[in-house]
Amino acid sequence: MDQTQRLEFAAAPAEPVDPFAGRPAVTVGYAETEPAPKDRVGFQFIWEAILLLLTLNALFLVYQRRDEIFSGGLSVDALGPDFTVLASLLLMVTGFGLTLRLGAVNLAVPAMPMPVIAASTLFVGPDPLVGLAFTAGLAAAVAIVFTVLTVVFRIPPWLAGLASLVVLAGSLPALRELDGAVGGGAAGTWADPGGLWLFLGAAALSVAGGLLGLLPGVRDRFSKVKGAADGTGDREAGSVVALLGGNFLALLLAAGGGFLAVVFRQGEDLLGLPGAFAVGADAGVVLTAYVFIVVFLAGTSPWGRRGGAFGTVLALIAVWALGLFWQTLEGPASDPDRYRDWTGAVYAGLLLLGLFVSFGLDRLGRPKEPTEPDESTAEMTAYDTADPGTGLFEPTLPDAAAANR
């Protein structure tokens, strides 16, 4: 043997190799599903903190003019009727905000107190509990009409709500006739626990609903309900039931506002909103505009799903206090009704401000968009790597040596 010849030795494998084993089995794993993106609710709470400061400022303005606004002195008893009206309005605003968060706005909700007040003998009656059952029946009928129009006939929710509003307004004469035919006397009343307690109860209900709406699971259900209502999603049974139940609850809350106004004898005060437009036959339109202002200033999204927790209560108090303060302003001697004439413009400005706030909070509250991976980096699989060769016989692959012959 030539001593100058270099001998190369291959390292022995650590384990015995089966020449007929082929490639090792590929382990198949299940890709982990990414968690659903969450809404950014922090901006909503920031706005509610700002709204709290604005509300305290409006209340301070009312306190400065307390002698002009409350001739009998500022006390809880003097504010009792105002608290009762605020409780009724808060139920209406909460109900309308629920339809907005469902993504199926129902324009008939703000007008629901009108038939209850106009036909109080029927919807309240001598026994208010029986009248409450009739009120719930009216809410159920309107909810069924709205759900059938949106889910079955695929009518856009806003148009279905407008149609429900027209049906509700057109039925007022028939309801008055029915009220006179079956009414058993004047509407009954309940012992007044105090307007402050009524308002606190309505506020607790509104805040509890707002906190419940912050849960991710509830918001996801709202998105599915919106898809079922506007035709962009599946009409699954759960979404349809949630749409029907949510509208029934919203309509019942709004009708409950009129019910409270009757059983505690504040119906006329409810129609004469402080600082609002002149209320006459178009009382439903006035209530609708008032509800719009409050619900949008609260930060409720017009596109559904998103909304606040405390904003509805704060916005209602702020608008109410601003209305009381606006009534005390007097124009110059040459035009004493100047501020009264500009009342409608002020409320129109508040509505535009509310729309701007709700638009901004909806955009800021949306989840962050996921970052796209770098396209320059290609993902390589196990078969993309070059096989250095193991010397094993692989019957499923062509013989490279034979191919080179």
pLDDT of residue 96: 96
**pLDDT tens sequence across 217-229:** 999 999 999 999 9
Give the contacts of 250 (CB within 8 A, at least 6 positions apart): 95, 96, 98, 99, 106, 109
DSSP assignment of 249-287, as one string?
Answer: HHHHHHHHHHHHHHHTT-HHHHHS-TT-PPPSTTHHHHH
The number of C-alpha atoms within 13 Å of 44 and in the hemisphere containing its C-beta is: 25
**Torsional sign, CA 272, 275, 279, 284:** negative
List the structure tokens of 150. Answer: 């949106």
- Angle, helices 343-365 vs 311-328, to 10°: value is 160
pLDDT on residue 5: 54
pLDDT < 70 regions, the chain: 1-37, 183-185, 266-285, 370-405
pLDDT tens readout for residues 290-334: 899 999 999 999 999 999 999 999 999 999 999 889 888 888 878
From CA 106, how far away is CA 160, in angstroms rounded? Answer: 7
Give the tokens for residue 92: 């209406």
Cα–Cα dist 96/251, whole Å: 8
Position 278 scores a pLDDT of 36
Query: Rounded to whole angstroms, what are the CA distances from 362 to 41, 213, 306, 312?
Result: 10, 14, 7, 16
Would you state the pLDDT for residue 394?
53
The reported pLDDT for the residue numbered 171 is 86
Write down the pLDDT at residue 277: 36
With 0-12 / 13-18 / 19 or more C-beta atoms within 10 angstroms meaning exposed / middle / buried, residue 145 is middle
Return the CA Rg of the chain. Answer: 33
> What one-character DSSP code corresponds to residue 367?
P
Q: Which helix (H) or strand (E) holds 100?
A: helix 80-101
Question: Angle formed by the axes of helices 195-212 and 311-328, to 10°?
Answer: 140
Give 65-78 pLDDT, tens digit per residue: 998 888 777 888 88
Kind plus residue range of the DSSP H or E element containing 45: helix 42-64
Record the pTM: 0.80
Cβ distance 211 to 98 under 8 Å? no
The neighbour count for residue 128, using CB atoms within 10 Å, is 18
Q: Distance from first CA to last CA of the chain, Å, rounded?
A: 31
In eight-state DSSP terms, residue 33 is: P
